[in-house]
Structure 1
């Protein structure tokens, strides 16, 4: 069922399908932190005892970038990983990087910096870490 087919009752504030049946389980892909800001967010959490919000288990890891730093720390010579540090631990000589929130979604909170100069930035800051930046045409590095 498409999201557009879900309605919220003005009487009880609960969610219903197009046939008028109460929705008991919703499989969601939308991040909770964005959901609470939406018009329907409050209603969704108010009805939480009557519906099950099923989230894809892998999203708890795949939807975040926090896993990259410990992986890089474990194998800093890996050809598959870019150098990744918590912001306070990044080497001072790291002047080209992507600065990203730990919970980075939809490109929010990202700053691309090349040779100490900001080349692109997208709002929002929380739980920052730095990751190696490989500019187009720069060739491969180890």
Structure 2
């Protein structure tokens, strides 16, 4: 397939990616503007803005080791978001986007009970937990 005839409905196509990111940004902007936040319960998680995929199923691939999680938090400058890293777990997840290539992301949780092999879905009501870092809090 040549570049000119490439299927523009393919999720890997740059136009589709930009549209999806714009839609996510608008949805998060509307939530932030309204001043609402994700409900506080034991199923809240934090994802990077680029990994926020409302109503998309994902599988938990693996849990990050404690030292890796601590390094990630320290290097990102998110110490104030994850005030006690020992209370948090982080997971590599694979979003089900209907394509053969993996669509991996990172998910952080303080209370949700997850382990490798679990399947979950991100909720629709995400809110920025820390907008300058692109961290979105959302309920499972």
TM-score by length of 1: 0.33
Query: Which has the larger helix fraction?
Result: 2
Structure 2 length-normalised TM: 0.33
Q: For CA contacts below 8 A with separation 6 or more, give which structure has more relative contact order.
A: 2
